[in-house]
Structure 1
Amino acid sequence: MSGELTPPRAIRGFISFVALLRANGFAVAPEQTTAFLAAIELLGPRSLQHIRKAGLATLAPPPERHATYHRLFDLHFRGSEAIEPAEGEDEEIVRLQEEGRGEDEPPLAEEANESGLAAARAEALVERRFGRDTNIDALRRLSREAAARLPRRRGHRRRRARRGPFADLRRTLRDSVRNDGEVLRLGRLRRRPRPRRILLLIDVSGSMKARTEENMKLAHALSQAARNVEVFTFGTRLTRVTRSLRLKRREQALSAAAHLVSDWDGGTRIGDALQAFLAVPRFGSYARGAAVVVISDGLERGDPAALRDAVAKLSRRAWRVSWLTPLAMAGGFQPQTEALIAIRRFVDDLVGGGSSAAVVSHLLSLGSRRAA
């Protein structure tokens, strides 16, 4: 490591393995990375097992996560020869599938979906670049009105109020001292409202190609306007892009998300993606008591039963479930696709999502609605 901007090609695979560990929640210090490379050089490894043991000794994964470490190692260094997941393996296996490794990969599409008008089951892994804003007015409105109009919930902390269900004894005693022990007025307390979590699930498949860029820009504006927002993308994979969209500069945030998501404009398997979301306890907890907003046309190419079951579970956990589809822009919309018909009774709002202004209007209207 002679101070070069790019490391030698021979060690790039080892450095990328350390980066993969960090991406899946392993705490690896730079000094441990240096020790890992030094151990490999000292061992002169003749097999992958030598590299595996060097990583265990220098990168020091916690004992309870050894199974995940071995799975990551196999998926990184062995690729399609990776072993089957072991029992007791934790939630990162969903993350691994979105990294583009493992033998459970869906089939790749032979041709790119240029028009984005038809949903496909096959997967197309592409890189996406985002252009300049075209719906500035809608994004500005969201940033300006989000603090006052997004949904809120009652918190556990209390604040002073003229009327409330709780007595403020401390304040009452303090006032009585000033009035020679006379209690002239009983102070009251009420619960302090807190912002309700918003879970935004964005369809980035080929059938939503025309709206993907605007939806991602809207997700960034929402993440900047409200702190309690979680954003996921789905097509043939499930990707959490919350951290990327928390970057303040929009160009930087969207560029980070573009490199993180690998199934832009690909196939459509909404049910499998939502089932994977619910299968991870950490992800599933994001939906508990949240306002869940799904932006998708609902052109499912997988099993509609899997989609129906996933949306039913979401509806039991969430405060409200809203499904925004470009197909519902006209008045008197009635679902025609098999997937939308299957989930209709589990969603609270099935409204139009074909423009940024429509999505922003629905988000800002959630604050005046009640729980389902």
Structure 2
Amino acid sequence: MMEYAPLDLPENPQLTRNITHFARALRVAGLPAGPGRVTDAIAAVAAAGFSERAEFYYTLRACFTARPEHRAVFDQVFRLYWRDPRYLEHMMSMLTPAVRGVAEDRTAKAAEKRAAEALLHGVDRDVPDMGDADSEQGTEIEIDATLTMSREEKLKTLDFEQMSVSEMAEAKRIIAQMTLSVPPLMSRRTQSAPQGARPDWRRTMRGAMARGGDVVEFARKERRTRWPSLVALCDISGSMSQYSRAVLHFLHAVSNQKGAGWAQVHAFTFGTQLTNITRHMGARDVDAALAAAGAEAQDWEGGTRIGACLEAFNRDWSRRVLGQGAVVLLITDGLDRDEPERLGAAMERLALSSRRVIWVNPLLRWDGFAPRAAGIRAMLPHVSSFRAGHNIAALAGLAEAVARPDDPGEKARLMAALRAA
């Protein structure tokens, strides 16, 4: 339990106005802090009192958070608004154009940028003019931009968890334009082709019989091409929340892209239960599609039972959607509550039923990542490729993994570490 020092309020705190402004910041940051919740919060604080900071914190948190995933954003906004004014100044410097000596060189934690952006919503954050407009002796600042990256290039390498609201909106725009093309598969069956590479003796003889036994022309044929299906299994547990939303935006773009080559695109979410959201991915509007998918998946941002959900998929859906050489995208961090043996058996059957299993794991963003968790150790031997999925650049790398069947990603390195352990 968190412990705070006694809350030091001014003589005229204007509590109603402060809580209203605090709720407005929460609403900008993405929490459902409507007028009804503001009224409840004011009444709750009046009833509970605010002699101690801990009571004040838990009272407001009970009124403004409806899900466990809301707490990270609430904690950051609470800290900025009620606890640490200097911290707000630091976050404001992070949101302004970078000036040496202003912003501290460190990576923002999850939800920090969203919280600071929410509190600074509507505030002019432009850098003030350092020179006199009427003076001819203005200060000239020279900036060497030869080694800097564009805003879009920086955004492609930024972790989804560290993005602000505006950065995430821009990331979704980029993701909507991404493609995931797949090369065709060569079938054993053939089809008639006037310029085919193989002679079709059966068709040639049938044509000759129709002409009294005279061979007038030689028929030719070629191998048929077919397109595989894409099956995505997306983990929507609490630890995968931000990454899952970005990946689902990517899947929506793939599902609605014409000419990508996929025969069909199937999407499933899993946390504590498996949910088929394929029909929602076909909607033209991505926000409406994800809202409908979120309404159907009741276990969004809950616990994780990968083994049980994969067993349900193998039992109920594998024969329906894994035909014709389907490629499986498995998006999860591999942190499972089930027994490793159960998870390993489910992964083995999934691998045998599909053409390839590509595992996308956001934990690969850490340089020192190693297969220490029991779930990861059970799943790793049964995947074809193991890749990161924490930013836009990682999602773009999936196209390379799909186009190159012999690309194992990080699997070879991690399997070597697994054998050495």
TM bucket, shorter chain:
0.5 to 0.7
Shift in Å at residue 309 of structure 1? 0.8
Number of aligned positions between the proteins: 244
CA positional deviation for 1:329 = 3.5
Q: 1:152: which partner in 2?
A: 185
- Give structure 1 stretches of 5+ with no counterpart: 1-109, 118-130
Closer/same/farther in 2, CA of residues 367 and 190 from structure 1, 3 Å limit: farther
In structure 2, the residue matched to 1:112 is 68
SS in 2 for 1:264: coil
Letter in 2 for 1:134: A
What does 1:1-372 correspond to in 2, within 5 Å?
112-113=68-69, 114-115=71-72, 132=169, 134-142=171-179, 146=181, 149-150=182-183, 152-154=185-187, 156=189, 158-160=191-193, 162-165=195-198, 167=200, 183=216, 186-225=218-257, 226-280=262-316, 282-288=317-323, 289-329=325-365, 334-369=370-405
Instruction: Indicate how the Cα distance of structure 1 residues 231 and 159 shifts in structure 2: closer, same or farther if over 3 A, else same.
Output: farther
Compared with structure 1, are the counterparts of its residues 189 and 367 closer, same or farther at alpha carbon in structure 2 (3 Å cutoff)?
farther
Distance 1:304 1:205, change over 3 A: same
TM-score, normalised to structure 1's length? 0.57
Maintained 8 Å contact 2:385/2:401: no
RMSD: 3.6
TM-superposed deviation, 1:115: 4.1
- Which 4+ stretches in 1 moved above 4 angstroms? 168-175, 181-184, 330-333
The CA deviation at 1:164 is 3.7
SS at structure 2 position matched to 1:369: coil
Kindly indicate whether the alpha-carbon contact (under 8 Å) linking 1:155 and 1:194 is maintained by their aligned counterparts in 2. no
Q: Whole-Å Cα distance in 2 between the matches of residues 371 and 318 of structure 1?
A: 17
Q: Which amino acid aligns with 1:339?
A: G
Identity level (%): 28
Query: How far does residue 134 in structure 1 lie from its aligned partner after superposition?
Result: 1.8
Task: Name the TM-score, length of structure 2 as normaliser.
Answer: 0.50
- Unmatched runs of 5 consecutive residues or more in structure 2: 1-65, 74-108, 110-167, 409-421
Structure 2 distance, partners of 1:133, 1:151, is 32
Q: How far 1:156 moved relative to its partner?
A: 4.5
Distance 1:340 1:260, change over 3 A: same
Give the residue type in structure 1 aligned to 2:238.
Answer: G
2:56 matched residue in structure 1: none
DSSP 3-state at the match of 1:292: strand
Corresponding position of 1:65: none
Displacement of 1:255 in angstroms is 2.1
